[in-house]
Amino acid sequence: MARIHAFEFEDQTWFPGVVREYMTDFLSHMGGWSKIPYQPFIERLADALRRTGDARVVDLCSGGGGPAVVIAEELRSRLGRPVEVVLTDLYPSSSRQAHARSVLPTWVELEARPIDAQRVPPDLPGFRLVCNGFHHLRPHEARACLLDAVTSRRGLALVELTQRSPFTMLQVALGTVTLLAVSPFIKPFRWSRLLLTYVLPIVPLCTLWDGIVSCLRVYDPDELAALVGELPDCGYRWEYGRLSVPRMPNELTYLIGTPDPR
């Protein structure tokens, strides 16, 4: 199936921030539930952090940050040393950050500035991570994201749990039904979340649409390899491919790049 960069609500600057927040809260709630789907990726990411020695992960396209926090927690245990994580997004939400500050561990930082994955400011050092967010970037933007990491000589890893397959799209559609079951339990509790979920079902409908379109947009390993191939020769070690998700009939797609030691 060819990659199609179709319209996603989440990408629109005019899209109401509160709806974007409730959509990404759901993804974060589900993604932060368990580290199991990410285990094979975390194993490789831990090796990459052993090579670079980074003690800080800069999570890009964080949304609610659920997967990044479980991944960082597991990295800390695998590496046996502190690893901090900073959550960043192009559309940061101050209300979400106020809540997150009160519930997240102290080793999780929240970046208040909008951070574009294509241009990470130099005052945000660390190993860059993109969980389920790389598909938001069109090919020229995806290239810019990779180039920005290599010109700053930062490690970079990205992972996507979905694929361009009818099976994954069906899973995404069924997963959206879960939103109806878990919304009252998503923190922080908001009456407006319930209103926009059950009375005016804007959150589930936009989540369903964006979820299906995300599958159509995900880069496959060959496309990731082609993006890497277009970068200048930069002395990087790259690995990419698909990894089986434990206990599920799924595969995740990943790319990890680390600068060669100088």
Positions touching ligand SAM (CB under 6 A) are 10, 24, 27-28, 31, 60-63, 66-67, 89-91, 116-118, 131-133, 136-137
Q: Which is nearer to ligand SAM, 28 or 176 (CB)?
A: 28
Q: How far apart are CA 26 and CA 29, in angstroms?
A: 5
Q: How far apart are CA 94 and CA 116, in angstroms?
A: 17
Point out the residue whose Cβ comes nearest to ligand SAM: 63
DSSP-assigned letters across all residues of 73-127: HHHHHHHTS--EEEEEESS--HHHHHHHHHHS-TTEEEEEEE-BTTB--TTS-SE
**Minimal distance, residue 148 CB to ligand SAM, in Å:** 11
- In the sheet that holds 108-114, the strands lie side by side as 108-114, 84-89, 56-60, 127-131, 156-160, 251-259, 236-244
**Minimal distance, residue 27 CB to ligand SAM, in Å:** 4
Terminal-residue alpha carbon distance, the chain: 41
**Minimal distance, residue 12 CB to ligand SAM, in Å:** 10
Q: Which is nearer to ligand SAM, 68 or 83 (CB)?
A: 68
**Minimal distance, residue 178 CB to ligand SAM, in Å:** 14
Q: Which is nearer to ligand SAM, 51 or 223 (CB)?
A: 223
Amino acid at 77: S
Q: Which is nearer to ligand SAM, 118 or 168 (CB)?
A: 118
Q: Which is nearer to ligand SAM, 174 or 199 (CB)?
A: 174
Q: How far apart are CA 203 and CA 102, in angstroms?
A: 25
**Minimal distance, residue 154 CB to ligand SAM, in Å:** 15
